[in-house]
Chain A
Amino acid sequence: MTDFSKDDLIDFLYDEVRMLDDGRFDEWMELWTEDGHYWMPLNYNQQDPLNETSLLYEDQFMLRLRIQRLIGARTFSQKPKSRCHHVIQRPHVDEIDNDAGRYKTVTRMHYIETRLDDQLLLALTATHDLVRRDDRLMIAGKKVEILNCDAAFGNIQLLP
């Protein structure tokens, strides 16, 4: 069994955002455990993803639908397509437990999404719950908090 170092975890997170920026969504989906959830709270310090409104709380079915839709022939809001760009700080590795195969990281970043003449900039904090499965790292949970989550947004179409 591989022991993952701090550097391994950080490399994993850099690779993840690169996949998103390159639009390699199928590869990105391979990073997830079967029951992994992507959560984007609506409120600052929101604790409950399910019993109040979140911006996103998606399982693998919904994430698959989301990325499948992005390449659809009749996905009108993606004609033309959006592009995104993540600028991440060096992640904080808050937990390394190689015995249990569990890891926790917190990554602050700027996220830019652009389409036509509009460009959106968000300041984000991404918290990853990572696990070791078949000797590789996988995402068991990802929480993306938007600094101004309570502001009114237009479309946010890709994955911050």
Chain B
Amino acid sequence: MPNYQTRAEVEALVTPFQVHRDIYTNQDVYRQEMKHLFANTWVYVGHDSQTPKKGDYYTTQIGDQPVIMVRHSDNEIKVLYNRCPHKGTKIAIDKTGNTGKFFRCPYHAWSFKTDGCLLAIPLKKGYEGTGLSETENGKGMKSVGAVHNYRGFIFARLAAEGIGFDDFFGGSLSSLDNMVDRSPAGRLEVVGAPLRYMHQCNWKMLVENQTDTCHPMVAHESSAGTAVQIWKDMGFTEDDPKPPAMEIIAPFMSAYEFFEEMGIRTWPNGHGHTGVHHSIHSKYSEIPGYMDALIESYGKEKAEAILAENRHNTVYFPNIMIKGPIQQLRNFIPLAADRTLVESWIFRLVDAPEELTRRTALYNRMINAPTSIVGHDDLEMYERAQEGLHADGLEWVNIQRLYQEGEDLDAEAVENGTTERQMRNQFHAWVKFMTASMSEAEAAE
């Protein structure tokens, strides 16, 4: 059995239209993902509205690495490994707080400025002449490789060297732009705590599902189909004005043609989105006062262009998805090869009517909660796949829908909305960033 220490072994897991099941089930692959993929890519950390004041911090993770996002005295957001350089104690354990001008380790009171620099050690004379200041640990809390704040969204790259932020995301940033532009102030704020939903499956199944447009009418027939049926039984027709819950759930039952025509766009480095031309979010009713507020800020033409864009799910490789028209971000946090924590966050559009936040909150609980009648069937599919993949009869997973030989995944493209191109795009990027820091023939350890 390979243990996926070498470039060749990792590359062999992905063919143009099939991936090997070890990608989902093998714990060595998972460890390599944490070491390479989540170090070489730009991973979402948090939103700057979570830490509005100097000294505000938020504890989270990048891959399997515990980190603290903190607003430093210069107002910039820093991302530090959440580990005391002394004994390894986590410096902060609560999700959020304000640490003032410095962090203080609760174990031996070493203290650090909010950019990580060592500030003080009690009884410091005990280190005189020991050479502590020449060690890595003597410098303070370690920073991640690079941090970028894109319109309030904080991304970080663990690796000190690697692809730049703009090169990594390229044209895909247009989806984040559209979500932020939907605020008349051009600003979002996190609303409340995220839903936290535990999945006994591999994190990539969730990422793939975001652009899987051939599953809603099948897996969600039980919820969306039943909703449509109850609606009919109540004597309403498809064209009757629907309550917000129906507006949200009914489009899940749209026919294959609807999803084919909505289109999928992919960008290099594994990013892509469904809903190029329209989406399940296109037909939500207008919120009074909202368009006026947008026109006030942007002028009529731009305001209309902002709302004309109804992208469904945008995947930012490796592990988040955003929904611009819903102002939602889902974070697929890999805990093990067969264990993923999904956090679903929502945002308020600053200066927009509060009804929009209400719809966003409704969407979040209806679709993405552990109590969601839609989420239940998704999770059931993932967990059945995680178990089914152990069947030895077949070792490969198929992602061939609308595949064409010679497909160029390093070029942006718009295709039929039921293509699995975006899944292939993710695996193409997966190989690239898994192996970016592996030497040609990295010897097995």
Contact = CB atoms under 8 A, between A and B. Distances in A.
A147 interface: no
B373 A42 contact: no
A77 interface: yes
A155 interface: yes
Interface string A27-71: 000000000000010110010001111111101011011101100
Given A42-B195, A51-B191, A61-B245, A155 B375 contact: yes
A55 B370 contact: yes
B254 interface: no
Contacts of A74: 221-222, 225
A53 B197 contact: no
Nearest to B227: A65
Contacts of A40: 371
B379 A154 contact: yes
Central interface residue in A53, A56, A66, by most chain B CB within 10 Å: A53
B195 A53 contact: yes
A69 B370 contact: no
Contacts of B194: 53
A160 B288 CA distance: 37
Contacts of B375: 155
A64 B226 CA distance: 10
Contacts of B196: 150-153
Interface in A84-106: none
A75 B195 CA distance: 23
Interface string B191-222: 11111111110000000000000000001011
Given A64-B230, A66-B373, A76 B365 contact: no
Contact of B371 (A43, A56, A69, A78): A56
B223 interface: yes
B376 A155 contact: yes
Contacts of B246: 61
Given A68-B230, A155-B370, A150 B193 contact: yes
B223 A42 contact: no
A38 B379 CA distance: 24
B401 interface: no
Given A72-B226, A75-B222, A52 B361 contact: yes
Given A74-B221, A152-B197, A56 B369 contact: yes
Closest 10 CB pairs of A and B: A52-B192, A77-B380, A152-B196, A75-B222, A153-B370, A77-B376, A152-B198, A72-B222, A53-B364, A55-B371
11 contacts: A55-B370, A68-B226, A69-B226, A72-B221, A74-B222, A76-B222, A154-B199, A154-B200, A154-B370, A154-B379, A155-B376
Given A55-B369, A74-B225, A150-B193, 15 more contacts: A42-B192, A50-B362, A52-B192, A53-B193, A54-B365, A55-B371, A56-B365, A61-B246, A62-B366, A72-B226, A75-B222, A76-B222, A152-B370, A153-B198, A155-B376
